[in-house]
A and B are shown apart, each in its own frame.
Chain A
């Protein structure tokens, strides 16, 4: 059945690649296509960068927790920081004319594009949690083929 993997890391940008790689590998194990697994990795990457940069304000002593949870229907990732939180209803659309030339402000937009659901939770006095969720397509030919290949290998 479901599998759960949890990581707890200090707030260092150097760890972002590692988390991305773990996310992509676990998504492949959960039978997502290469391209969907990359999208999951990219969404997790953005959430982790934000947790480190904005949530924990680059304070290496503050931790980021990443929890991967897989079941037969979906792949869910929770990214928690120890920051003050923010107003996630107020994020600007980077595609608007006045934002297109900005060199930041695209991370949350990317997350929303790469996975099916992005939700934010404020954990009373304990920081922010971002939930990313991607649904597995119903067991079609592609999914079963992937599973077989893995069993053989």
Chain B
């Protein structure tokens, strides 16, 4: 049932990367429980604009859980208090009338704040550039059905490939490790014959880039898996470790 609720918001405001940030307190009223969390922030922003203040900057685009653009730490949880979803899929029916909600950006050495709730995640692109692909050029490839792939492998590769590159795993990790993200790509490609060829080299190069960019080490806390909106499994990290070892042995 649709209901209307009033909320107190504690929102992280930070003018730019150089200046210090702080929490500001705002009130929003008559928020429909059928609206999404980001629509609630839209309402806050409309209110701020009408009062002549600068609206809160936050990242978002598809608003349906697939582009990986939205982020936000909500009441201490990446993507907020619901499972298997992104912030843009979070709905206000998860909150109670009168509640106070704390809203912060991802906090991690690998993701510096750009403004308010927006962080810089280009490190993820750099990690992919280090090896997250199959080295083929356009054209001159075999017929798509030339190599049969067992359905189970294809399905497992698809599950790993579902990663949206949002960074919640890094934000959730006390070490700020990007292992879940890296392992998802390494697994996907290692599971397919097309990607198998470069599997070891890929694992080595991507991990090296991750280390270079200041992400922490994985100590198997499993926090990443819990907060991943796409259910990427830590089993992928085990597979990455195997590939990584193979690469080391080959050296």
Decide if A and B are genuine partners: no
Chain B residues engaging chain A, CB cutoff 8 angstroms: none
Chain A residues engaging chain B, CB cutoff 8 angstroms: none
